[in-house]
A and B are shown apart, each in its own frame.
Chain A
Amino acid sequence: EAGVTQSPTHLIKTRGQQATLRCSPISGHTSVYWYQQALGLGLQFLLWYDEGEERNRGNFPPRFSGRQFPNYSSELNVNALELEDSALYLCASSFTGSSGANVLTFGAGSRLTVL
């Protein structure tokens, strides 16, 4: 079974540019989560998509946005990049079973560097 795949692995941009990161969930998973892991700041929740809709959003400015496609893959867009956006962006997918437990399976991440 293929895991969660993310692309690109690395991305280098300059301030003010836009970045697009992509994520394909595990087959059968309908939820996709995005987290930002900046140096020394742990994992910060960004966005949650389920069945094509945004279900929840973390404490990030509107220039962080995304979408989920009919095949449940997802895209994270970061506009007007700032230096502090440099981080590892992790995507995770899940299938919320009847127990309600939310077991996340993570991808390897996309490392965004803003110069």
Chain B
Amino acid sequence: AQSVTQLDSQVPVFEEAPVELRCNYSSSVSVYLFWYVQYPNQGLQLLLKYLSGSTLVKGINGFEAEFNKSQTSFHLRKPSVHISDTAEYFCAVSLLNTGGFKTIFGAGTRLFVKA
């Protein structure tokens, strides 16, 4: 069965510090990988996606992620966070199964940036 695991439920970090949000997935088929961000009282917004090609993907707001096939990981990083990055971050995989395309989300990681 396919699954997405976000290893940290909460990540507190000081402003201007670097951050890494971890994501591992399990799947026996090829997947497409995504990170979404959810600000308070809003829906989810796409941060970045990996479809194919370069394993280092750059997204909006200075975030980037690296696809590591051997470790089945897709960790999200930012070299210097801002207060405004406080939000919940979801890792997701999209794959083709018998019912068609399906997107599975991780449980989310709450990033809390402190001044």
Contact = CB atoms under 8 A, between A and B. Distances in A.
Contacts of B80: none
A99 B103 contact: no
A45 B102 contact: yes
Interface in A75-115: 90, 92, 96, 99-109
Which interface class (under 10, 10 to 19, 20 to 34, 35 or more) fits A?
Answer: 20 to 34
Interface in B40-60: 41-46, 49, 51-52
Contacts of A106: 36, 43-45
Contacts of A90: 43-44
Interface string B74-115: 000000000000000010101010011111111110000000
A42 B51 contact: no
A42 B108 contact: yes
B32 A101 contact: yes
Contacts of A100: 32, 96, 101
B45 to A, nearest CB: 7
Contact of B49 (A103, A105, A107): A103
Contact of B103 (A33, A42, A50): A33
Nearest to A41: B107
Given A56-B102, A104-B34, A106-B36, 8 more contacts: A42-B107, A42-B108, A55-B100, A102-B94, A104-B44, A106-B44, A106-B45, A108-B41
19 contacts: A4-B43, A35-B105, A42-B90, A45-B102, A55-B100, A56-B102, A57-B99, A92-B44, A101-B49, A102-B94, A102-B101, A102-B103, A104-B44, A104-B46, A104-B92, A105-B46, A106-B45, A108-B42, A109-B42
